[in-house]
Every structure is written in structure tokens, then in C-alpha cells.
Amino acid sequence: MTIKTASLPDFILNIVTNKGTEHPFTGEYNDFEENGTYLCRQCGLPLFYSQSKFHSGCGWPSFDDEMKQAILREKDADGHRTEILCKRCHAHLGHVFTGEGFTPNNLRHCVNSLSLDFVSASNVQDTEEAILAAGCFWGVEHYFKKLPGVLKTEVGYTGGHLAHPSYRDVCDGTTGHYEAIRVLYDSSKLSYTDIIKYFFEIHDPTQRNGQGPDLGLQYQSAIFYYDDVQHQTALQVIAELEKKGYRVATKVLPVSPFWQAEKDHQDYYTKTGKAPYCHRYEKKF
């Protein structure tokens, strides 16, 4: 289990750790109809199936059922409502209400979108996460979406000092951010070692000044680790590569807030029909 608090930006932390509430009708999953599974944003535990989601008109995602052993209920600080939390990591999700008659289950979990992740798989038991940088994030995402067991990818910016950076900010080269990718994967099908080895096979980890023709800090190779297990795994894989003769330039850094990139950059090559210009797959292990 990976607790992702260190990589969560302030507006998500305000929800999951400070028990905040997003404004109604603003959340990503309020008007969202895809089939799959909703996960805890902080630890990746599956919480709700899409089949239990319904429109209540309240302005937040509503569910009339939950996964077994996934939700913890506690009396809210207001003394009236019942708070719901992720049973594993205690991230704040929202509140639960009964007796409203919306569905035959007569139950409404009112959940903040920012407390959730969504994956299109419907049989996932648990997930893990990796944050990586390997040059232009368009190409990195293109290849990770091809890897069986990867459930979700999201491109963004991490490692810098500016909150809420934009693509233009990062391209200016003054914020310290890397173009990075958040990879959510099925932990029963892939290990972190699998993820790191594949990462090294889709880019040139020996290039120190960027990736391909894209030069600058934001395009350099880096692994951002959540815990000692990820840290040691990254170092072990690098040592294995170096034994093969590669002079690895990849940095290994602790995670810091991951800021989602603008929508135009998400799944870029699928949207445009173009192909990566500075990434290719090369078997190294």
C-alpha cells in the first residue's frame, strides 16, 4: 500500500486530510458515466463500483452501495451527520445519508470527486502508483498506456517550487518542475520493479540534458519514490542497468506535489493521432 499524501497538491489535501468539501457541481465525477471502479485518491483502495453510482442532484458524486470492508463510518464533528472515510488510510471522502428514497437501497454516499480516482477496470482488487519523468510526457504516457496492468495515466508537473504551475511556466525553465507522469497500476499484475524496468526501456536514461531533441531540466530523467521500498527498487534496477554498461543519468528523488497538466496534454497522442518523436521501446532487461 502506498500512501500518496506527499504527492497530493494542496487542494486535494484540504479534502482528504483536512475534511474540506469541494464546491457542488464542480467535481470531475459529478457528471461522469463511464463504467469502472472508484478508488481512494490517497491510497488506491477500491471503494465503489460504477454500477452503484446515481444522480441525486446534490452536486457531488452519489453511490448507493460500497465495496466490502472499504468504508469507515464515524460521527461527524457537527454531531449530526455521519462521515465516511477510506477504511485503510482514513482519507476523508464525504458523508453518508439514509432514508432519502433515491434508490431501492435507500442509501446515499455523498463523495468529493477530489477524494477519488477512477479506473475503467471493474475487477481490480488493489492498486499502486509510480511517478516518473522521462522527457516529453506525451511520449511517456503513450508507451505506459500500452503496458498490460496499467489502469490509469495522468501527465503533470512535479519536483518544482511553484504551486499550480502551467505548461508555459514549466517551459520557461525557472520553476524546477519536471514533465512527469502518474502511473496507477494493478498490483496483482505488475510490480514496481516491472514499472521501473519498463520506464528504462522506453527512453534513453543515459542522456543528461533532456530527452532526444527536448533539452532542459523539465525533460530530464527522474524517478520520484514514495517510500524506502520504491527507493531501493529504483537503485537496484539502476545498478542492474549499469552492470550492463549503461551510464545512467536518471535522478532518484522523493516525491513532491504532482500538479495535473492541462487537459490538452492528457492522452495527447491518442487525441491528435500523432506518434512520439523522442521515445521508442528498446529491450534492456
Whether 132 and 250 map to the same domain: the answer is yes
Q: Residue 182, class by beta-carbon neighbours within 10 Å (0-12 exposed, 13-18 middle, 19+ buried)?
A: buried
Which value, in Å, is the radius of gyration of the alpha carbons in the chain?
Answer: 20
Whether 262 and 136 map to the same domain: the answer is yes
- Give me the residues paired with residue 75 across strands: 82
Q: What is the pLDDT of residue 6?
A: 93
- Give me the residues paired with residue 281 across strands: none
Whether 153 and 94 map to the same domain: the answer is no
CA-CA distance, 41 to 67, in Å (whole number)? 15
pLDDT digits (tens, 9 = 90+) for 190-231: 999 999 999 999 999 999 999 999 999 999 999 999 999 999
pLDDT digits (tens, 9 = 90+) for 6-36: 999 999 999 999 999 999 999 999 999 999 9
pLDDT surpassing 90 at residue 1: no
Domain range for 32:
8-119
Mean pLDDT computed over 158-175: 94
Q: What is the pLDDT of residue 278?
A: 87
Q: Choosing from 40, 86, 136, 278, which is the catalytic residue?
A: 136
**Does any domain span residue 182?**
yes
The CATH number for 78's domain is: 2.170.150.20
Q: Choosing from 89, 110, 171, 278, which is the catalytic residue?
A: 110
8 Cβ contact list (under 8 Å, min separation 6): 16, 41, 42, 257, 258
pLDDT digits (tens, 9 = 90+) for 32-83: 999 999 999 999 999 999 999 999 999 999 999 999 999 999 998 888 899 9
CA-CA distance, 100 to 216, in Å (whole number)? 56
Is 136 an annotated catalytic residue?
A: yes
Q: What is the pLDDT of residue 277?
A: 87
What's the whole-model pTM score?
0.94
Mean pLDDT computed over 102-129: 96
Mean pLDDT computed over 143-151: 97
